[in-house]
Amino acid sequence: MKYRLYKDIHTFYNDTYDILMRHEAQNLIPLGNVILGNEGKDKRDWRDPANWLMATVSDEAGIRLTAIMTPPHNLTLYATDNVLNEEAISCLIAELAEQEVPGVMTEKTLAEYFADAYSARKGISFTTSMNQRIFELTTVKPDIPKLGTLRLLTEKDMSFFPYWAEAFYAAAVRYDAKEMSIPQEAERFLFTIATEKIYVLEDDGVPVSIAGLVREMPTSAGVAMVYTPPYNRGKGYATSCVAGISQIALDKGFLRCVLYTDLANPTSNSIYQKIGYRPICDSLEIKFE
């Protein structure tokens, strides 16, 4: 097995793009990052490829394992054609011996195998921080009730958007909905609004839910940042909002929409399947202690 560490995002893109595209929906995050880095238009925070770990493990038949980590985020992996190659994983782990890896997020079988082998090599423990399921949609079911009006988020929404965004991250990213910071700076929220990827659902002129088409790939659009304040839940707003932006993506020419769900949240999983999303694989987010 041959390990290759990349310093140039464009070379890494050229070597891995077609491989990652074999399972485009499953590789929403690593593929989206490779595309983002290759374009080089956004280098805020973690998005500068100069700080990334980019690597492949190959044999005479070609690349067997692709790895990308965008600190401080977890390592993401893809076993080519979803064929788990133990020798390739061992090779990667040996090369990562001196590298600080906070965690791994990838397809469930690969995540479990890597976590077991990596933690044994390092003499550390790990915990599963989230059981996820990846869904894709190619057609929105026609019987979904259309509530309110869907529109792009604009600067006039700064009166509530930063707080909703922080509440979303507290629950979905930091795993503790009781702990959220109070936004102090407007810049990053204004930048998000300027991308014109976040939509707000209004009911009788009042914002009730948001969702975004945050990653646009060759044939897929990633749906994320789905948030409805607690006092608006149970009224069908999230269902209507996600169905609406999913249809917008399909109308733009994307062949499918892709989203991640937390299996610990049966409500959201049920909502998405009612809209027309179907599961394609399970994924784990694992933290090393």
217 & 112 share domain: no
Task: Assess whether 198 and 255 both reside in one domain.
Answer: yes
Residues 37-57: what's their mean pLDDT?
Answer: 90
- Kindly tell me if the per-residue pLDDT of 175 is higher than 80: no
Domain annotation covers residue 277: yes
The domain tally of the chain equals 2
Return the CATH number at 19. 3.40.630
User: Do 119 and 156 sit in the same domain of this protein?
Assistant: no
Cα separation values, 279 from 55, 99, 132, 154, Å: 28, 33, 10, 32
Examine residue 144 and state whether it is found in any structural domain, yes or no: no
Q: What's the mean per-residue pLDDT of the chain?
A: 93
- For the segment 195-218, what is each residue's pLDDT rounded down to a tens digit? 899 999 999 999 999 999 988 889
Last residue of one domain, picked from the residues 67, 90, 124: 124
Termini Cα distance of the chain:
29
- Same domain as 153, residue 118: no
Answer yes or no: are the C-beta atoms of 167 and 229 closer than 8 Å: yes
Helix, coil or strand: residue 201: strand
pLDDT of residue 130: 92
Looking at the structure, tell me whether residues 78 and 118 fall in a common domain. Answer: yes
Q: 106 lies in which domain range?
A: 2-124
User: Cα-flanking dihedrals φ and ψ of residue 20, to 5°?
Assistant: -65, -30
Q: Residue 147: pLDDT band by 50, 70, 90 thresholds?
A: very high
Same domain, yes or no: 109 and 225 = no
b/e map 84-93, b = 16+ CB within 10 Å: ebeebbebbb
